[in-house]
Every structure is written in C-alpha cells, then in structure tokens.
Amino acid sequence: MSHAIQDRPVSVAPRRGSLSHARLPRWTPAAIAAGSVAGGIGIGLAAGWHSKVQWGLIAALLFVLVTFAVTTKVEGSRQAKDRVATSLIWVSFVLAVVPLLSLAWVTISKGMDVLDGYFLTHSMNGVLDAEAGGGVYHALLGTIEQVGIATLIAAPIGLLTAVYLVEYGGGKLAQAVTFFVDVMTGIPSIVAGLFILATWNLMLGFGPSGFAGAMALAILMMPVVVRSTEEMLKLVPNELREASLALGIPKWRTILKVVLPTAIGGITTGVMLAVARITGETAPVLLLVFGTKLINPNPFEGAQSSLPLYVYEQYAVGTDAAVARAWAAALVLIAFVMILNLVARGIARWKAPKTSR
Amino acid sequence: MAKRIDVSGLSAYYGAHKAIDDISMTVEPRSVTAFIGPSGCGKSTFLRTLNRMHEVTPGGRVEGKVMLDDENLYGTNVDPVAVRRTVGMVFQRPNPFPTMSIFDNVAAGLRLNGSYKKSQLSDIVERSLKGANLWNEVKDRLNKPGSGLSGGQQQRLCIARAIAVEPDVLLMDEPCSALDPISTLAIEDLIGELKERFTIVIVTHNMQQAARVSDRTAFFNLAAVGQPGKLIELDDTERIFSNPSVQATEDYISGRFG
C-alpha cells in the first residue's frame, strides 16, 4: 500500500485541506470567448440564419455555458459560480456597448458624406429638398442660442434650489420642493412645450421664437440640475462646513467659498449632462421655435431652427440629398454634445480638489 | 486676549433629548483646561456650546448662561458668527479646505471674514504657521494644497488656521485622537506654548495627555446610557489625578470604571 501512495505524483492529487488547487490558465476566458464566437458563427451558418444578432446571442450563451462546464470540471463549483458571474458581466458589457458602437459607426459613416466646411457654414436658404448642398449653420446657431439661454435660466435656479435643499431646507417646504422636483423630472418634453405654448404664445400672444423654446428646455433641465447638484453638495463633508463656521465665517460665505468650490467639479458635470439631455430635444422646439430654412441670429424674435429639428425635417423630406443632410446633422449634434462633455470633464478635473503634494 | 469663561446652569439638547444637564464651571484665562470622561457623556457637546457650534447641529438647543468675561454668549442680541471669531475651534479630524493651498487655508478666516489688510496677510500667515510650529516644514510650498500634508501637519495647519483670526479662546475637540505619538507630542508642545496667549479648553480620551498638558481637569460622567451627562468635578489636574474628591473620578482614572 505504502508503495502505491508514494508512487503517485504529489501535484496531481493535492492533499485534503491544502490551500492550493487546480487553476485554469489565465488565457482561458479569452480562449473560451474566441471559441464561443467561432461556435456562434458556425452554428449560425450551419442553420442558415441570416441575423447576426442570433449569431451573437448563440455566442454569448455558449460563452457562459462553456465557462461553467470547464470551470466546474477543473476548478470546482465555487470557482465555477464566480466565473459564470464574471462571464455574465462581460456579456452584459458587450451587449451594452454594441449598440453604442454601432450607432456611432453608422452615424459617422453616413454623416461624413456631406459634412464639410460648407455644410457647417451655410443655411438651407434657397436650397430645394431634392437638391444636394445647403447646410446646417442656421440650425447649429439656433441650438447654441436656445441651449445657452435655457442653461442661463435653469442652471442658476437649479443651483440655488439645490443649495436651499441641502444647506437650509429640512422642513415641510424642502420636502415639497423635493417632491415637485421629482415630479418635474418625469415631465414629458412635449408637455413642457405645450405649457409654454399655452402661456407664452397663446395667452400672452408672442410668436414662435428661440426664447420660447429655451424656456421649455429650461423646464426640462431644471430638475436634472437640482438633483445632481443636490447629490454633489451632500458629498461635501460636514466637517468642512463646521471648520469654516468655527472660524467665524458667516454661513453664506461658507457655502460660497468652501462648500461650492469643493463640489464644483461634480456640479459642472451635472449641469453639462443636463445640457446634453436638452440639446437633443425635438418636441418643444417643434412647437415653439417652429423651424426655418433661414439664418435667424435673434433668439427673441421669429422662427429659428435647431439641430434635432433639422434632422427631423430633412428625414421627413425623404429625398436622398435630404437624408444625407439629416445624417450629417445628426453627426454634428453628437459631436456638439461630445465636445460639451469633454469640456465639462476638463473643467471638473481642473477644478477638483487637489491632493498631490 | 485670553478671556475667562464662566458657565452657569447650562443644559444642551438634541431635539427632545437632553445631552448635558445643568453644568456650571469657570475656565481660567491663560491656562489649559482638560475635559475627560467616558464616551457619550457630553464633553464634546459642552465644548461646542462654548462657541455656539452646538446649534449648528439640526435640533441643537441650549439653555443657561456662558459668560465670556462680562458678555453672555447666549444673550439676546449676540451674533453667533461674532462669537465664533472670538472663540476658535480645532476638530478631532484634521479638516483643511481641500480646494485651498496651505497659504489660503491659513488666510481663510481673515479673507472670508473680510477683516484684514492685504499687506498684512502674508505676515499673519507666517506668524500663525510659526505659532503652530509648522512654518519650517511648509515655507517652501505655501501654494501647494493643504490636503497633501501628513495628518499631524494637517492638524497643525488647522491650529494655524484657528489662531490666524486671533481668537481669545481656543477649543480643541480631541485634537490628537487621529494622530501618531510623535505628531501628538508636537501638538502637546504647541498647546503648552499657546496657553501663554489663549485660554485653551481641550477634550481628550487620553488621561496621560490630560495630565501632561492641562492645568485644570474636569471630569464628566453620565448616570446611564440615554441619561444626560453631568460635570462631576473640576479641580487642579494634579489633585484630580492624585487625590480626587469624588469616588467616581478616582474609579474612572484608575480604570475601575463600571
């Protein structure tokens, strides 16, 4: 008996209670992923499916199942659960990223056709629907002005509301404000547009203008600013407020010089995200700004255009030239939001509290 | 400079809960008074009533009188902001303003109060940092962020920030509890120097520290959890630690508590 035991190599049969156990090599998940993709394509081709979505789903399913089977066999059931959880996370990540990348890819590939300097600097004045040419300048200008005015209205009000809620609130009024901010978050954009249409345009008798659209956008933006600023202000440690108050600094200066600067990075990001949200709104713009082919630099009088509205109009026309313009304008819209986001991140990083020595 | 504090019949509440009950004591000027006692006995709460920081806590409320020389801090027309300029405070955890440089941290009290002359500012900052024994360590990097300093340096920065506004009284709420023994020693030495100019009140859980730095010691206790804290006795530190007049004090100090 003793001979037989001694003959067996130690590494194959780890002793009971040992801290080490069989491990899959580090490249295993990558290999399983590659194999699953190959398997997905193979099964898809063999079954004669045309949809790449089906291929992908088969591959994802294979990935999870093979990971589970292989790990259970080699590493044991606890590690298998861990690996399955990890592989599910990877699959979810890929499922989330694929639409994003595909959207970016389609927009860029279709939008680049007509996007050039001429497109950015000319309006649609005198351009027929079926005709190539024309541009997006009037819409870009309108978007910048409307979003700018909306931000000028909504950001200060939202910021001050959040300051009230976090620094001064606590009673019934604060509860009510929080409740209504939550309700406002859920307002559909068309309702905000109709509200301004009913009050500003129908009751007070103003015509369509960029400013009317900006007011509707401000209504949509305000709750987002309040919410994000509130969360950022709550993150500021109470010790900093107390340190400042204990120096004999009045409360309003404490908020202005200590609390807000500490949170400014997050606040900026929040405002920029809100800006990004309203930049793509079409419905209130359609109702209130009306749309035009001409360059109208005055947001307070006369119809303007805006990028989402322009995309909608051009797509509705439906000719080849118009659809190409719609894709290019969509690309401009995405790039505009992207640039705003990058600027916001830059500001946030620049203003964030520094910890380096 | 360095005023006497005379407390009489002071109770403090958090909402309906009474945290400290009917405390009367006198804190001598140009001396160090230490508060000791078990957790939850109201030492910190009492300390915070001395510069009206207690009422910053939601539901915080105070009854009684705190005389700073001949002025009642809780008098009808007293401005809490003015009180806090006169009675400075250093907290348990170092809390430099993260957005400000070392220089700006020290200058913050003066700048944000708006009561300073520009030409004097760098003199005051230098004097305060020297007063906090920090000048030599930071004089080459005054424009670097204060949060980049070590914990002990940050605490001395907070002390420099507190003394830059030239208060009459300096309250310290367990200023060394987050620090290592060497930084603690540096702060204790500093307290010994600062008492020449300020009235100092320090809360501490470290009885050796109370014995080392303080001239007078007050022992606080509470009858049971949920009961308000009370002042048991206040005496010269030497007497409290050698021959206290109340049995509970002796039990607490010798570790026979509870």
For residue A351, give the amino acid letter. Answer: K
Task: For residue B22, report the phi and psi dihedrals to the nearest 5 degrees.
Answer: 50, 65
For residue A15, pLDDT over 90 is answered with no
Positive or negative, the CA dihedral A259, A163, B47, B19 is: negative
- Yes or no: say if B229 and B40 are a contact pair by the CB < 8 Å rule: yes
Looking at residue A1, its pLDDT comes to 44
Q: Within 10 Å of residue B52's Cβ, how many Cβ atoms? A: 23
Residue B63 lies in a domain: yes
Which chain A residues are closer than 8 Å to B113 by Cβ? 247-249
| Cα→Cα distances B55→A348, B27, B46, Å | 34, 21, 11
Residue B229 lies in a domain: yes
Distance in angstroms (rounded) separating the CA atoms of residues A337 and A307: 11
Query: Based on the structure, what is the number of domains in chain B?
Result: 1
Strands B216-222 and B87-90: unpaired
Structure tokens at B172: 């310290």
Residue B156 lies in a domain: no
Average pLDDT, chain A: 88
Structure tokens at A171: 């009673």
Distance in angstroms (rounded) separating the CA atoms of residues B43 and B229: 8
- Yes or no: say if B89 and B82 are a contact pair by the CB < 8 Å rule: no
- Yes or no: say if B107 and B128 are a contact pair by the CB < 8 Å rule: no
Looking at residue A16, its pLDDT comes to 58
Residue B51 lies in a domain: yes
For residue A17, pLDDT over 80 is answered with no
- Yes or no: say if B176 and B212 are a contact pair by the CB < 8 Å rule: no
Which chain B residues are closer than 8 Å to A246 by Cβ? 51, 53, 84, 88-89, 91, 162
Residue B142 lies in a domain: no
Digit-coded pLDDT (tens) for B173-214: 999 888 888 888 888 998 998 898 889 999 998 888 999 999
Interface test with A, best of B99, B157, B171 (most A CBs within 10 A): B99
Distance in angstroms (rounded) separating the CA atoms of residues A109 and A330: 12
Digit-coded pLDDT (tens) for B11-40: 999 999 999 999 999 999 999 999 999 888
| Cα→Cα distances B161→A274, A288, B106, B131, B165, Å | 38, 55, 4, 10, 7
Looking at residue B59, its pLDDT comes to 87
Looking at residue A324, its pLDDT comes to 93
Query: What is the 8-class DSSP label of residue A354?
Result: P
Considering A69-83, A143-157, B17-31, the range whose residues carry the highest mean pLDDT is: A143-157
Query: Is B84 close to A244, i.e. CB distance below 8 A?
Result: no
Residue B116 lies in a domain: no
Q: Within 10 Å of residue B11's Cβ, how many Cβ atoms? A: 17
Digit-coded pLDDT (tens) for B44-81: 999 999 999 999 888 899 999 999 988 899 988 999 99
User: Comparing A50-54, A278-282, A328-332, B62-66, which segment has the lowest mean pLDDT?
Assistant: A50-54
Beta bridge partners, B20, equal B12, B229
Looking at residue A241, its pLDDT comes to 93
Superfamily designation of domain A137-351 = MetI-like (1.10.3720.10)
Looking at residue A127, its pLDDT comes to 87
Residue B157 lies in a domain: no
Digit-coded pLDDT (tens) for A217-232: 999 999 999 999 999 9
Which chain B residues are closer than 8 Å to A240 by Cβ? 95, 97-98
Looking at residue A357, its pLDDT comes to 41
Place of tokens 């900093």: A240
Looking at residue A2, its pLDDT comes to 47
- Yes or no: say if A39 and A47 are a contact pair by the CB < 8 Å rule: no
A/B interface, count of CB pairs below 8 Å: 91
Scanning every residue of chain A, which has its alpha carbon at the shortest distance from the alpha carbon of B56?
Answer: A242
Beta bridge partners, B230, equal B221
For residue A179, pLDDT over 70 is answered with yes
Beta bridge partners, B169, equal B87, B199
The angle subtended at Cα B56 by Cα B55 and Cα B59, nearest 5°, is 60
Which chain B residues are closer than 8 Å to A355 by Cβ? 98, 145, 147-148
Positive or negative, the CA dihedral B94, B95, B96, B98 is: positive
Residue B33 lies in a domain: yes
Q: How far is A300 from chain B (nearest CA, A)?
A: 40
Which chain B residues are closer than 8 Å to A253 by Cβ? 112
Looking at residue A28, its pLDDT comes to 87
Domain boundaries, chain A: 21-110, 137-351
Binding-site residues on chain A for chain B (CB distance < 8 A) = 170, 237, 239-250, 253-254, 257-258, 261-262, 264, 351, 353-357
Structure tokens at B154: 């940050």
Q: Within 10 Å of residue B15's Cβ, how many Cβ atoms? A: 11
Q: Dihedral (C-alpha) A85, A86, A87, A89: value to the nearest 10 degrees?
A: 90
Digit-coded pLDDT (tens) for B106-152: 999 888 877 677 788 889 999 899 888 899 999 999 999 888 898 88
Distance in angstroms (rounded) separating the CA atoms of residues B16 and A174: 22
The angle subtended at Cα B181 by Cα B175 and Cα B184, nearest 5°, is 30
Digit-coded pLDDT (tens) for A20-63: 778 888 888 899 999 998 998 898 888 888 888 888 888 999 99
| Cα→Cα distances A101→A104, A106, A107, A108, B210, Å | 5, 9, 10, 10, 65
Looking at residue A213, its pLDDT comes to 95
Q: Does B152 touch chain A (CB under 8 A)?
A: no
Positive or negative, the CA dihedral B197, B200, B204, B210 is: positive
- Yes or no: say if B163 and B131 are a contact pair by the CB < 8 Å rule: yes
Distance in angstroms (rounded) separating the CA atoms of residues A256 and A31: 56
Structure tokens at B148: 């980049």
Q: Average the pLDDT over A185-205 and give the result.
A: 93
Element at A339 (helix H, strand E):
helix A320-351
Q: What percent of chain B has pLDDT over 90?
A: 48
Range of the domain at B35: 5-97+168-253
